[in-house]
Amino acid sequence: MTPHRVAVLALDQVVGLDLGTPSQVFRTARDADDRHFYAVDTCTPGARPVRSSAGFQVLPDHGLELLEAAGTVIVPGVYGDVTQRHDAIEPEVTKALQAAYDRGVRIMSICTGAFVLAAAGLLDGRRATTHWAHTDRFRRLYPAVDLDPDVLFVADGRLLTSAGVAAGIDLCLHVVRTDHGSQVANQAARRCVMPPWRDGGQAQYIERPVPQAPDTSTAGAREWARQRLHESVSLRDLAGQARMSVRTFTRRFRAETGLSPAQWLLHERTDHARLLLESTDLSIDQIARRSGFGTTAALRQQLHQRIGVAPSAYRRTFKGRAPS
């Protein structure tokens, strides 16, 4: 097996955590024989050292020629002029990114790396996201981009963008899940000590980062519901588990997850159905019941609405990719 090659393009004032995220996540994605699915390398313009925003220098092994051999290119977040002016990136960077995209390469950004993709003209007319704190400036600089600041990441064809910092992990896990199925992504997430999927969007982190006290959290009720996806779970049941009124529970649930309880439950059931489709030989009807949809028609409708395919088509695409 030849690993899929990932090129991480570091520019001056690169964000340290963003720079390390692709290597950490993709190198933990392995098959049943512990072989790596991805090979990750870092490059800079001219293979020159660049400064990080954390006070250290990055000494790369490659220049921009690495993009010519890569199947995926990732631009980590940056600070400084790149987020202030649309003409701050070097012309050779723009040319290399455009050429990579024209060749069919998948292009990704983490956090403010979206400014680089936008400056290169790759996001015009596309849906994208970036860190919520930079939303106003991004829209002023790049009005042609359909910016959604409320989500953790956006996948618009071969162009993928993520919100701030840790959302880069969510995006990388999403790519692993798309490439090799939920089991591989779940194993990678466990190695990174991360949840395979985070609920909601980055809106939940703007107003209230964490619950103020354990007894005000809806986390316990969410975990209770995850163990009962095959059952009928009502809003009143969830509120009762949290020992809150329905009104208080609904408000706090949305503040913590960015979703209504009903939306969250649909996402959980859909993700569970996807895992069963990939990793078991259960019939579609059995999977519909075990994931709480009740009927094949209900599962088909929700799966098509969420990811655009029928259960049988999803199974054909992903079941063979999951490790035994």
Predicted local confidence at residue 152, as pLDDT: 86
Secondary structure of residue 61 in the 3-state scheme:
coil
More confident residue, 38 or 255: 38
Predicted local confidence at residue 216, as pLDDT: 61
Residue 323 has pLDDT above 80, yes or no: no
Torsion-angle region of 199 (φ positive above 0: left; ψ -120 to 50: alpha; else: beta):
beta
Q: Mean pLDDT across the chain, nearest whole number?
A: 88
Residue 45 has pLDDT above 90, yes or no: yes
194-204 residue pLDDT tens = 766 665 544 44
Mean pLDDT confidence for 109-116: 96
143 band by pLDDT with thresholds 50, 70 and 90 = very high
| C-alpha to C-alpha distances, 181 to 199, 205, 323, nearest whole angstrom | 19, 28, 9
Angstrom distance (rounded) from CA 190 to CA 188: 5
Mean pLDDT confidence for 104-110: 97
More confident residue, 187 or 110: 110
Residue 317 has pLDDT above 80, yes or no: no
E strands, the chain, in order: 4-9, 38-43, 50-51, 57-58, 72-75, 106-109, 127-128, 146-147, 153-156, 159-162
Predicted local confidence at residue 278, as pLDDT: 83
182-240 residue pLDDT tens = 888 888 888 887 766 665 544 444 433 333 444 568 888 999 999 999 999 999 999 99
Token pair for 112: 């403010």
Predicted local confidence at residue 79, as pLDDT: 93
11 within 8 A of 46, measured Cβ to Cβ: no
